[in-house]
Structure 1
Amino acid sequence: MSETSANRWNTTANPDPGQSARTNHNIAIWGAPGSGKTTFLAALNIALILKDGPWRLIGADGPSTDFLIEMTAALSQDQCFPQATSTLGRYRWFLSEKPELQPRRWGRKRKEARAWKIGIDVLDAPGRSYHSKRTGRGTEREDLLDSLAASRGIVFLFDPVREFKDGDAFVHLHGVLADLARRMLATGEYADDTLPHHLAVCVTKFDELQVLQTAQKLSLLSPDPEDPHRFPRVADEDAEELFQMLSTVSASGNAGMVLPTLKQYFRSDRIKFFVTSSIGFYLDPMKGHFDPDDHQNLISAYQIRGQARPINVMEPMLWLGRQLSAEGDDRGARR
Structure 2
Amino acid sequence: MPPEQQPSARPTPNIAVWGAPGSGKTTFLAALNIALILKKGPWKVVGADGPSRDFLIEMTSALSEQQRFPDATLALGQYKWFLTRQIEKRRWPLGRKSVQSERIGLDVLDAPGGFYSAKRASAPTSREELLNNLQGSRGIVYLFDPIREHKVGDAFSYLHGVLTELAGRMLTGNRYAGDVLPHHLAVCVTKFDELKVLQTAEKLGLLAPDPDDPFGFPRIDDDYAEELFEQLCGISRYGNAKMVVPALKQHFRHDRIKFFVTSSIGFYLDNEKGAFDPDDPQNLVPTARPAAGEAGTATSPGSGFQIRGPVHPINVMEPMVWLGRRISAERPAGETRG
Alignment TM-score > 0.5, same fold: yes
Cα drift, residue 331 of structure 1: 8.0
Q: Does the 8 Å contact 2:135/2:170 carry over to 1?
A: yes
The answer to whether 1:246 aligns with 2:249 is no
Q: Please, which of 50, 53, 58 is the counterpart of residue 41 of structure 2?
A: 53
SS in 2 for 1:172: helix
Name the CA distance, whole Å, in 1 between partners of 2:242 and 2:207.
23
The answer to whether 1:120 aligns with 2:106 is yes
Q: Please, which of 96, 117, 121 is the counterpart of residue 131 of structure 1?
A: 117
Name the CA distance, whole Å, in 2 between partners of 1:185 and 1:266.
12
Cα drift, residue 113 of structure 1: 2.0
In structure 2, do the counterparts of structure 1 residues 114 and 225 end up closer, same or farther at CA, with 3 Å as the change threshold?
same
Cα drift, residue 190 of structure 1: 3.5
SS in 1 for 2:166: helix
Name the CA distance, whole Å, in 2 between partners of 1:283 and 1:319.
28
The answer to whether 1:312 aligns with 2:298 is no
Cα drift, residue 98 of structure 1: 2.5
Q: Please, which of 313, 327, 332 is the counterpart of residue 330 of structure 2?
A: 327
**Where do residues 143-222 of structure 1 align in structure 2 (5 Å cutoff)?**
143-186=129-172, 188-222=174-208
Q: Structure 1, residues 49-72: CA drift from partner, whole Å, max 9, x if none?
A: 000100000000000000001100
Name the CA distance, whole Å, in 1 between partners of 2:68 and 2:86.
30
The answer to whether 1:88 aligns with 2:91 is no
Cα drift, residue 147 of structure 1: 0.2
SS in 2 for 1:121: strand
Name the CA distance, whole Å, in 1 between partners of 2:26 and 2:15.
14
SS in 1 for 2:105: strand
Q: Does the 8 Å contact 2:206/2:224 carry over to 1?
A: yes
Question: 2:26 is matched with which residue?
Answer: 38
Question: 1:14 is matched with which residue?
Answer: none
Question: 1:28 is matched with which residue?
Answer: 16
Question: 1:12 is matched with which residue?
Answer: none
**Where do residues 67-82 of structure 1 align in structure 2 (5 Å cutoff)?**
67-82=55-70
Name the CA distance, whole Å, in 2 between partners of 1:130 and 1:266.
18
Name the CA distance, whole Å, in 2 between partners of 1:187 and 1:313.
36
SS in 2 for 1:112: strand
Letter of the structure 2 residue corresponding to residue 312 of structure 1: N
Q: Does the 8 Å contact 1:189/1:196 carry over to 2?
A: no
In structure 2, do the counterparts of structure 1 residues 145 and 289 end up closer, same or farther at CA, with 3 Å as the change threshold?
same
Cα drift, residue 188 of structure 1: 4.8
Q: Which runs of 5+ in 1 are unaligned?
A: 1-18
Question: 1:13 is matched with which residue?
Answer: none
Letter of the structure 2 residue corresponding to residue 135 of structure 1: A
Letter of the structure 2 residue corresponding to residue 213 of structure 1: Q
Q: Does the 8 Å contact 1:157/1:203 carry over to 2?
A: yes
Cα drift, residue 125 of structure 1: 0.1
Name the CA distance, whole Å, in 1 between partners of 2:223 and 2:277.
25
Name the CA distance, whole Å, in 1 between partners of 2:92 and 2:65.
42
Q: Structure 1, residues 287-321: CA drift from partner, whole Å, max 9, x if none?
A: 11110111110134612111110000000000000
Cα drift, residue 100 of structure 1: 3.1
Cα drift, residue 169 of structure 1: 0.2
Letter of the structure 1 residue corresponding to residue 33 of structure 2: N
Question: 1:4 is matched with which residue?
Answer: none
Q: Does the 8 Å contact 2:31/2:63 carry over to 1?
A: yes
Q: Structure 1, residues 261-308: CA drift from partner, whole Å, max 9, x if none?
A: 000000111000000000000111111111011111013461211111
Name the CA distance, whole Å, in 2 between partners of 1:229 and 1:103.
38
* Count of equivalent residues: 313
Letter of the structure 1 residue corresponding to residue 88 of structure 2: E
SS in 2 for 1:115: strand
Higher strand fraction: Structure 1 or Structure 2?
A: 2
Letter of the structure 2 residue corresponding to residue 146 of structure 1: N
SS in 2 for 1:118: strand
The answer to whether 1:265 aligns with 2:243 is no
Name the CA distance, whole Å, in 2 between partners of 1:257 and 1:53.
38
Question: 2:4 is matched with which residue?
Answer: none
Letter of the structure 2 residue corresponding to residue 82 of structure 1: P
Higher helix fraction: Structure 1 or Structure 2?
A: 1
Name the CA distance, whole Å, in 2 between partners of 1:112 and 1:74.
38
